[in-house]
Amino acid sequence: MSLEEAKQFAARRAVDEYIKKDCIFGVGSGSTVVYAVQRLAERVETEKLKVTCIPTSFQSKQLIIKHKLTLGELETHPVIDVTIDGADEVDAEMTLIKGGGGCLLQEKIVASCSKKFVVIADYTKDSVKLGDRYKKGIPIEVVPMAYVPVQNKIQALYGGEVKLRKAVAKAGPVVTDNGNFILDWIFTDQDLRWDKVDNHLKMIPGVVETGLFVRMCEKLTLGSLKVT
Ligand SMILES: O=C[C@H](O)[C@H](O)[C@H](O)COP(=O)(O)O
């Protein structure tokens, strides 16, 4: 199975299993989610499902609009039946690193409002310990004016390297959908208690959210090398 086939397999399987008629659906972000939205659009067309889609980023809102699905928002739908989202890495305890594509704050808000949070991933994301697979570090969204003190504080607390994420086709930093910057913390200690780290990092003034999703993922649908 190629990487794209694995993403597609995981996404389609999750949509078929978890999306029911009349449900409120949290739409994650990233390349794997694209296949989930495509599958949902097929099912809406053929089964005449009524599904209201709550986006987790500019990208997922665009996907919902492109596929002519019903767009909702947390203001009117604060309780979501199921959210399906991708991940950059999933460890043995289903702790996730997310935010490789810069979307983590809205993803975590939407996941926290969801009765069920399902992660779809290809086989390259599956690890035992965080850092085994995803080498770019833990994304941390910060208020722009605070990025240097936050960088210094994380390095002093936990070591490793904390880098400001730079844009690719623009000079300067990546700016998130919320107008913030992203720091990528390349950690060295893989045995940290990630729930404590997440809470600790969020106590640093200027940190808005982290890409650590601890005990949030209930189900993982993996596109593996073997089709089961
Ligand atoms: O910021 C991006 C999101 O957290 C994505 O869900 C994550 O990076 C996984 O994306 P992909 O499915 O493209 O690997």
Question: Among this protein's residues, is 107 annotated catalytic?
Answer: yes
Domain count, the chain: 2
The token pair at 45 is 């067309």
Instruction: Let me know whether 18 and 122 are in one domain.
Output: yes
Same domain flag for 96 and 162: no
pLDDT (0 to 100) of residue 219: 83
193: containing domain:
138-210
- Are 54 and 26 in contact, with CB atoms under 8 Å apart? yes
Q: Same domain for 206 and 219?
A: no
Does 131 reside within a domain?
no
User: 37 in ligand 1 pocket by Cβ < 6 Å?
Assistant: no
187: domain CATH number? Answer: 3.30.70.260
DSSP 62-123: HHHHHTTPEE--TTT--SEEEEEE--SEE-TT--EE--TTS--HHHHHHHHTEEEEEEEEEG
CA of 121 to the centre of ligand 1 (A): 9
Q: Are residues 94 and 153 in the same domain?
A: no
Is there a single domain that holds both residue 38 and residue 116? yes
Residue 97: inside a domain: yes
Same domain, 32 and 101: yes
The reply to whether ligand 1 has any atom less than 6 angstroms from the CB of 26 is: no
Q: Is residue 228 part of a domain?
A: no
* Phi, psi torsion values for 144, nearest 5 degrees: -50, -45
Atom of ligand 1 nearest to the CA of 33: 12
Residue 133 lies in a domain: no
Same domain for 122 and 203, yes or no, is no
* ipTM confidence score: 0.99
pLDDT digit string (tens) for the chain, length 228 residues: 899 999 999 999 999 999 999 999 999 999 999 999 999 999 999 999 999 999 999 999 999 999 999 999 999 999 999 999 999 999 999 999 999 999 999 999 999 999 999 999 999 999 999 999 999 999 999 999 999 999 999 999 999 999 999 999 999 999 999 999 999 999 999 999 999 999 999 999 999 999 999 999 888 888 865 443
Catalytic residue among 5, 17, 47, 107: 107
Q: Is 210 in the pocket of ligand 1 (CB under 6 A)?
A: no
223 touches ligand 1 (CB under 6 Å): no
How many angstroms does the Cα of residue 102 sit away from the middle of ligand 1? 8
Q: What's 62's domain CATH number? A: 3.40.50.1360
Ligand 1 pocket test target in 32, 35, 119 with most atoms within 8 Å of CB? 32
Same domain as 94, residue 52: yes
Same domain, 122 and 152: no
Residues 75 and 180 in one domain: no
Same domain, 70 and 86: yes
Please indicate, yes or no, whether residues 177 and 198 belong to a single structural domain of this protein: yes
Q: CB of 103 closer than 6 A to ligand 1?
A: yes
Note whether 101 and 174 are within 8 A (CB): no
